[in-house]
Chains A and B, each alone.
Chain A
Amino acid sequence: MDLSHIFNSKKIVSIAFSAVFLACTIFTSVAQEPVKVEEPHVSRSEMNAPHEEKEEDISATILHHIADSHEWHFWGEGDHSVSIPLPVILWSDNGLVTFLSNKHGHNDHGTEIFEEDGQKLINYHGKFYYPNAAKNAEGAYVELDENSVPTNAKPLDISITKNVVSLFISIIVLLVVFISIAKAYRKREGKAPKGLQSVLEPIILFVRDDIAKPQLGYRYAAFMPYLLTVFFFVWLNNLMGLIPFFPGGANLTGNISVTMMLALCTFVLTTVNGNKNYWGHVFKPHVPWWLYPLMIPVEIIGLFTKPIALMIRLFANITAGHILILSLISLIFILKSVLVAGIAVPFVIFISVIELVVGFIQAFIFTILSALFIGMAVEEHAEH
């Protein structure tokens, strides 16, 4: 085979250049994941160098990384840390209390009482409590139960936390993208899609043809807005959770309150749209009458387990993925050897790529199960 024409081509320089550039971008974008995640651990282990790095320390660090917080942390520890402070909004006994988190966020051991809008408060591990009258053995104004969770009363926390900011960002992205696409569809009706429209049209059609139509039949049109919203919301947030730096990294879909809200939307839609057949299945199942005392409670529990399973599935999948990546990075610090990085970092990259797939599959499964549950509720003929 004669391949000389490839090398004689005038385009070879530009092709080679773009290939190298592409390889560099891919490499850096993949490499950013472990490097960024690593940073807090590096500084932490340096700080704790004289002490033994305990295993509890590492699991606490991992849990800290996947949890919500009152600031958006970038890098560094203690006084050298760089982060965006976020507003804290508390509904306390004295009414609304608001301040920026960097004002009182530095001492989070509960050893310092501060007063804001006439309300005395303490910051204990990132949460705000009413202080006790006396200090405990560690000098903090809290009383801990056996699981070292404070028993103090606390104000209602309705702060704009990291997760809430991430939620706002994803809402803005979704609105900008989908409003422009909707406009394009209206303007270019009957014509071929263009630009952003043609990027997302296959995915929108995938949701319609592979998720909505098979489960909902001819009634699919009424539920398309919800299914599309849920699909793109979950997918975008799964992907944003995997980005280790600013606009991402908030682990929104790995937060059980967020997944609970999503599952609740599906539950409400199922319950409101449930027809005679659906409720007949619950309260008058097709079994001999003497089985009713057993079957009716089971069916009623079944109504609630479906959304609860939806909630736990998304939450646990995303949280497990994040914990896995952070644990693999932590192996370097558990085994106290840089050589481990040679195995751990490639493995983290591998898991990160798998997480990209999991992010899509979980969005797909959440949407298809929502469609399935709604489909069961609106089905006209139960097949018996």
Chain B
Amino acid sequence: MITGSIAGIGAGLAAIGAGIGIGQIGGKAMEGMARQPEAASKIQTAMLIAAAFVEAVALFGVVVAFLGTK
């Protein structure tokens, strides 16, 4: 018998979402950098900002899950 909070599942779902999002961002950025290496630094900055936005949503999920376990 497994005991525990269902909040863990929520955190996991949030992580799946962020994984897909950041994977897309990273993949496309990589593609862009391969096509135009001279724009690499600009792409990298934009990629990090976009990744931060995606990650924030996942972290909201984790924080809510964390509060939910109490």
Contact indicator A147/B62 (Cβ below 8 Å): no
| CB of B63, distance to nearest CB on chain A (Å) | 5
* Interface residue A313 (Cβ < 8 Å from any Cβ of B): yes
Contact indicator B70/A312 (Cβ below 8 Å): no
The 8 Å CB contact of B56, one of A214, A312, A364, is: A312
Nearest A residue to B69, CB-CB = A59
Helix, strand, loop or mixed for chain B's interface?
helix
The distance in angstroms between the C-alpha atoms of A317 and B58, with both chains bound, is: 11
Interface residues of A in 205-219 (CB under 8 A from B): 210, 214
The 8 Å CB contact of B63, one of A210, A316, A369, is: A316
In the complex, chain B residues whose CB is within 8 Å of the CB of A320:
59, 62
The 8 Å CB contact of B59, one of A147, A317, A369, A372, is: A317
* Interface residue A309 (Cβ < 8 Å from any Cβ of B): yes
Contact indicator B63/A368 (Cβ below 8 Å): no
* Interface residue A331 (Cβ < 8 Å from any Cβ of B): no
In the complex, chain A residues whose CB is within 8 Å of the CB of B55:
313, 317
Nearest A residue to B63, CB-CB = A316
* From B48, B52, B55, B62, residue with most partner A Cβ within 10 Å: B52
Contact indicator B49/A372 (Cβ below 8 Å): yes
The 8 Å CB contact of B49, one of A316, A317, A368, is: A368
Contact indicator A369/B52 (Cβ below 8 Å): yes
The 8 Å CB contact of A364, one of B48, B59, B62, B63, is: B48
In the complex, chain B residues whose CB is within 8 Å of the CB of A261:
none
Contact indicator A313/B45 (Cβ below 8 Å): no
| CB of A86, distance to nearest CB on chain B (Å) | 27
In the complex, chain A residues whose CB is within 8 Å of the CB of B36:
none
| CB of A377, distance to nearest CB on chain B (Å) | 17
The distance in angstroms between the C-alpha atoms of A364 and B41, with both chains bound, is: 14
| CB of B51, distance to nearest CB on chain A (Å) | 9
| Contact flag A361-B59 (CB < 8 Å), given A147-B70, A210-B41 | no
Contact indicator B48/A365 (Cβ below 8 Å): yes
| Contact flag A316-B59 (CB < 8 Å), given A147-B70, A369-B52 | yes
The 8 Å CB contact of A361, one of B48, B53, B62, B63, is: B48
| CB of B64, distance to nearest CB on chain A (Å) | 10
| CB of A372, distance to nearest CB on chain B (Å) | 7
In the complex, chain A residues whose CB is within 8 Å of the CB of B70:
147
In the complex, chain B residues whose CB is within 8 Å of the CB of A316:
59-60, 62-63
Q: Mark A305-317, 1 if CB is under 8 A from B, else 0.
A: 0000100110011
User: Size range of the interface on A?
Assistant: 10 to 19
Q: Mark A143-159, 1 if CB is under 8 A from B, else 0.
A: 00001000000000000
| CB of A251, distance to nearest CB on chain B (Å) | 15
Contact indicator A312/B63 (Cβ below 8 Å): yes
| Contact flag A365-B49 (CB < 8 Å), given A147-B70, A312-B56, A313-B56 | yes
| CB of B18, distance to nearest CB on chain A (Å) | 12
The distance in angstroms between the C-alpha atoms of A210 and B53, with both chains bound, is: 19
| CB of B40, distance to nearest CB on chain A (Å) | 13
In the complex, chain B residues whose CB is within 8 Å of the CB of A369:
49, 52
In the complex, chain A residues whose CB is within 8 Å of the CB of B41:
210
| Contact flag A214-B59 (CB < 8 Å), given A147-B70, A313-B52, A369-B52 | no
Nearest A residue to B61, CB-CB = A316
| CB of B14, distance to nearest CB on chain A (Å) | 11
Contact indicator A210/B59 (Cβ below 8 Å): no
The 8 Å CB contact of B45, one of A147, A312, A368, is: A368
| CB of B31, distance to nearest CB on chain A (Å) | 21
In the complex, chain B residues whose CB is within 8 Å of the CB of A312:
56, 59-60, 63
The distance in angstroms between the C-alpha atoms of A48 and B70, with both chains bound, is: 24
The distance in angstroms between the C-alpha atoms of A372 and B41, with both chains bound, is: 17
In the complex, chain A residues whose CB is within 8 Å of the CB of B52:
313, 365, 369
A-B residue pairs in contact (CB < 8 Å), sample of 13: A312-B59, A312-B60, A313-B52, A316-B60, A316-B63, A317-B59, A361-B48, A364-B48, A365-B48, A368-B45, A368-B48, A368-B49, A369-B52
Chain A interface (Cβ within 8 Å of chain B)?
A: 147, 210, 214, 309, 312-313, 316-317, 320, 361, 364-365, 368-369, 372
Q: Top 4 A-B pairs ranked by shortest CB distance?
A: A316-B59, A365-B52, A313-B56, A309-B56
